Amino acid sequence: MPVVRLAHETDFDGWRAAARDLRAQGVPPSQAIWTVDGAADLFASPTSAGGVAVCEGSASATPAAAPPAFTVPKPFVDLARQVIQHRSDERFDLLYRLLWRLKDEPDLLHILSDPEVARANGYAREVSRAAHKMKAFVRFRLVHDEEGEAYVAWFEPAHRVTESTAPFFVKRFANMRFSILTPDVCVHWDLKQLAATPGADPADAPREDALEDYWKTYYASIFNPARLKVAAMQKEMPKRYWRNLPEAALIPELIAQAESRTSDMVRSAPTEPSRRVVKAAVRASRDAPYDGQAPVTLDEIAAGVDHCRRCDLWKDATQGVPGEGPGRARLLFVGEQPGDQEDLAGHPFVGPAGQMFDRALAAAGVPRTETYVTNAVKHFKHELTGKRRLHKTPNPGEVTACRWWLDAERRIVRPRVVVCLGATAVLSVFGKAMPIGKARQQALQLPDQAQGVVTYHPSFLLRVPDAKAKQEAFDAFVEDLKFAWALAA
């Protein structure tokens, strides 16, 4: 019986080479044994892409000289790259079984009810989730070495996603020397190249430093007591990650204070699009491609936006941020795009603009939990200035591409009233620009029978410098929310 010894746990190239050979030699899945050779030196080269498969036994002793051509579909290769990162022991075998069947069943991957396809898809989803959790929950600590400042994080990913996720951190922290240590593998960015070394022990990572306070302040600022749902919070931030999160120490206290705490955090916030951008967006929206199968549930939307590639914004964002609220709501709010804090938290309007929004909703007597809150664009567009991620207004193509998701949300939620918060939302919902000051307090007919209402973006209120003018803008915003709520009744 052939035994395939892969060089390491995520040795995709080794698996692929061996699977190709075995398939060419007609070795059925039941006769192949897949193992990982722990002694192999994965880390010899910083750029090593994977190990070499060594096959033992009759079938692999002499690889076929000219294996018959058999090309697997690209979606299978993509799926296999994901599944290999799963911790399940059966992953190599499962993938080989799928590969074996693909030759006679070329549409196999479309049969989602097939138990093996379903299992592989499930593994891929879990791997993808683990990668997102890693992007959101890695916390760096400042250290000093002979070359100066560096940042080190200890993290225990649910699956072996460290190497595939490392480029995300390089992009985000390109000008900071860092290491991410995990039990599986460690990755190191020295400002020029990414290197990998064997897994580490938690004792190798520094535990306390000044950054702890930063994270605690940050987390306390995005914690929204008005919408505290302990179960949902634990789902988003599973307990297994708490150990390494400085802010986790705050969770019990924040939960205890949730009833009484109010927040008035004010910080710089997104700007509204310029007239030039608005004009270009209108032009771009005329021939928008609306391809693909539209989602029919909010869960599908939540999963979908995270994987959306309709534009390039996903590349720099932590995650797609879908709308939130009941499946049927009378009122649907549309903002511009997630900000820095929404991008990390995965929820709309939880940062400074969200807190302003919550205060205005409370003043207007509108229960946020009975409304659906979403954004025109689902990924955070920003540019890196030093270590800060500064908001950038989404461009016309991005607004247009993302309208596909907003339209799907509107079809599912079927609100009576759609409230546009600011110019980007107006553009997305109405397909044209409108002067917000003049369009306020009117019920504007939309093609799907809903009424549209236009008002300011909460971040506009944050930017008004003068206290009196700020209060007036806030009052006007509250009036608009009351107007919309009454219209939706």
Q: Which residues bind ligand URA (CB under 6 A)?
A: 270, 335-339, 342, 348-349, 351, 353-354, 375, 459
What's the closest the beta carbon of residue 99 comes to ligand URA, in angstroms?
A: 42
Short-list 358, 403, 343, CA closest to 377: 403
Contact by Cβ (8 Å): 338, 331: no
Which residue, 50 or 348, has its beta carbon nearer to ligand URA?
348
Provide CB contacts within 8 A for 35, sequence distance 6+.
3, 4, 5, 6
Angle value at C-alpha 160, between 168 and 3, nearest 5 degrees? 135
What's the closest the beta carbon of residue 81 comes to ligand URA, in angstroms?
A: 32
What's the closest the beta carbon of residue 376 comes to ligand URA, in angstroms?
A: 8
Which residue, 310 or 457, has its beta carbon nearer to ligand URA?
457
Quick one: residue 453, left, alpha or beta (phi over 0 = left, psi -120 to 50 = alpha)? beta
Which residue, 319 or 337, has its beta carbon nearer to ligand URA?
337
Short-list 380, 392, 437, 393, CA closest to 273: 393
Which residue, 20 or 463, has its beta carbon nearer to ligand URA?
463
Report which residue's Cβ sits closest to ligand URA.
335
Residue entry with tokens 């950054």: 211
Provide CB contacts within 8 A for 6, sequence distance 6+.
14, 15, 18, 34, 35, 36, 37, 40, 51, 53, 92
What's the closest the beta carbon of residue 300 comes to ligand URA, in angstroms?
A: 20
Tokens of 188: 């190191």
Which residue, 273 or 335, has its beta carbon nearer to ligand URA?
335
Which residue, 420 or 478, has its beta carbon nearer to ligand URA?
420
Which residue, 180 or 353, has its beta carbon nearer to ligand URA?
353
CA distance 90 to 265: 50
Provide CB contacts within 8 A for 82, sequence distance 6+.
123, 124, 127, 128
